[in-house]
Every structure is written in structure tokens, then in C-alpha cells.
């Protein structure tokens, strides 16, 4: 039986995410990118325990690319960056289309304006242009406000910096509509976990 992903090679590995057998090449190159692998997948666990030289080089290259786009961030800002990325990579509700980079940029840019004005003592909730952007901005704003309880204007300014970094990265996706999200997914690893849990309290030094 041929692999359902490439339609060319023989399916040899049982894929718990798809409920079918896929070829080793697609398993190695499409896991956590096109295939939402569950955490109990034996092939995923094996790859994490014994990463190949190529995988390590790819991870390092991906991390450099991400950091070049974000610029220099403090420890607190990095915590915020990966908190937001975890939100954007959460599984969508059943029947909900997968988000794309342009929608992430839309949500991040609008939310950045909201936090920038809040840090100056103004109340202005800027609305994203897309329906998905508006939904994500509303959800992520609540998560961030919970994470920064009592942080005041300094926390709001830090959030805005990180949101602008995400906006820049997601806006430069090129021809692939999920290039930025796929890059982040490769760095963070398992994207098939639950939606963002209760936000941790982030205390800026």
C-alpha cells in the first residue's frame, strides 16, 4: 500500500495521527509540520531521544533564523515569545481551518497597537482585519493579561515588543502560507498538545 502523504513510496510505519501506514521519508520530514503527531508516537519519541546530525543542524539553523527575525530579546521577552508561539500552534477546534502566517501577523500587529497604547496609559483596542485575527487577538490578550498580572505599563511595553517581532516574522512568510508557523513548530517540537494551559505568571527582572 502506498504512503498516503507522498503517494509514491510504500507505507511501512504505522502513523497514529493518520491511522494509516506512511513511508519512513514522510515520517521523518513531515512530522510536526504536516502531521500533528501525538506525544505517544514511538517514532517521534525515538527521534527525540536519538536526534540525527541532520536534525540537530536543522534545529540550530531554524533557531538562528527565528532569532535573526526577532532581534535581541531579554529573558522575560523570550518567555513571552514562546508563550505566544504555544498559543498560535495549539490545535484548532474540529472543523476550524488551520491558521496561516498572514492571520498571525494580523492578530499580532493589532494586539501590539493595543498594548503599546495601554503602556502609555491609553485605552485603545485595535481590531485585526481578518475574522481569524480578531478571534486570536481576543483570546491571546486574555492569556497575556493573566500572565502579566500586576506588571503594569512595563509589562505591556514588553508584550508589544514581542508582538511586533512575531508580526515581522509572520509577515515575511513568502510563498508558503505557513512558513513561519512551520519554522516555529520545528523549534518547539510537539504541536499536538492541548490548547494553551493556564498562563504562567511572568515576572520581568
**Residue, of 20 and 29, whose pLDDT is higher:** 20
Q: Give the model's confidence band at 53: pLDDT under 50 very low, under 70 low, under 90 confident, else very high.
A: low
Looking at residue 123, its pLDDT comes to: 81
- Judged against a pLDDT cut of 60, whether residue 194 lies above it is answered with no
Q: Give the model's confidence band at 191: pLDDT under 50 very low, under 70 low, under 90 confident, else very high.
A: very low
Looking at residue 148, its pLDDT comes to: 87
- Judged against a pLDDT cut of 50, whether residue 98 lies above it is answered with yes
Q: By 3-state DSSP, what share of the chain in percent is helix, strand and coil, each rounded to 5?
A: 55, 5, 40
Q: At a CB cut-off of 8 Å and minimum separation 6, what does 142 contact?
A: none
Average pLDDT rounded to a whole number, residues 16-41:
85
Looking at residue 166, its pLDDT comes to: 96
Average pLDDT rounded to a whole number, residues 69-96:
87
Looking at residue 190, its pLDDT comes to: 42
Q: Considering only 4-13, 39-48, 165-174, which range has the smallest mean pLDDT?
A: 39-48
The predicted-structure confidence for 99-149, as pLDDT tens digits, reads as follows 999 999 999 999 999 999 999 998 888 899 999 999 999 999 999 989 888
Q: Using a CB cutoff of 8 Å and minimum separation of 24, what contacts does 141-150 make?
A: 141/111, 141/114, 143/83, 143/87, 143/196, 143/199, 144/80, 144/83, 144/84, 144/115, 144/199, 146/198, 146/199, 147/80, 147/83, 147/199, 147/200, 147/201, 147/202, 148/201, 148/202, 149/201
- Per DSSP (E only), the strands in 74-125 are none
The predicted-structure confidence for 177-190, as pLDDT tens digits, reads as follows 999 999 998 888 74
Q: Give the model's confidence band at 63: pLDDT under 50 very low, under 70 low, under 90 confident, else very high.
A: confident
The model's pTM is: 0.68
What is the bridge-based pairing of β-strands 20-22 and 13-15? antiparallel
Distance CA(202)–CA(52), nearest Å, equals 34
- Cα four-point dihedral sign 157, 161, 162, 166: positive
**Residue, of 142 and 69, whose pLDDT is higher:** 142
**Residue, of 156 and 43, whose pLDDT is higher:** 156
Beta bridge partners of 15: 20
Mean pLDDT over each residue of the chain, to the nearest integer = 84
Amino acid at each position: 500500500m502506498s504512503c498516503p502523504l507522498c503517494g509514491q513510496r510504500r507505507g511501512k510505519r504505522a502513523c497514529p495521527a493518520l491511522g494509516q501506514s506512511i513511508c519512513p521519508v514522510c515520517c521523518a520530514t513531515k512530522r510536526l509540520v504536516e502531521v500533528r503527531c501525538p506525544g505517544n508516537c514511538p517514532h517521534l519519541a525515538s527521534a527525540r531521544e536519538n536526534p540525527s546530525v541532520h536534525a540537530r543542524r536543522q534545529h540550530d539553523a531554524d533557531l538562528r533564523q527565528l532569532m535573526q527575525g526577532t532581534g535581541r530579546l531579554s529573558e522575560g521577552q523570550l518567555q513571552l515569545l514562546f508563550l505566544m508561539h504555544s498559543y498560535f500552534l495549539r490545535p484548532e477546534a474540529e472543523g476550524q481551518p488551520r491558521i496561516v502566517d498572514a492571520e498571525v501577523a494580523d492578530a499580532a500587529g493589532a494586539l501590539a497597537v493595543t498594548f503599546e497604547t495601554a503602556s502609555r496609559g491609553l485605552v485603545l483596542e485595535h481590531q485585526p482585519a481578518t475574522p481569524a485575527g480578531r478571534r486570536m487577538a481576543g483570546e491571546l490578550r486574555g492569556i497575556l493579561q493573566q500572565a502579566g498580572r500586576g506588571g503594569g505599563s512595563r509589562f505591556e511595553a514588553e508584550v508589544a515588543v514581542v508582538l511586533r517581532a512575531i508580526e515581522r516574522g509572520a509577515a515575511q512568510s513568502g510563498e508558503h502560507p505557513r512558513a513561519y508557523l512551520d519554522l516555529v513548530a520545528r523549534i518547539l517540537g510537539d504541536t499536538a498538545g492541548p490548547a494553551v494551559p493556564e498562563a504562567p505568571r511572568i515576572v520581568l527582572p
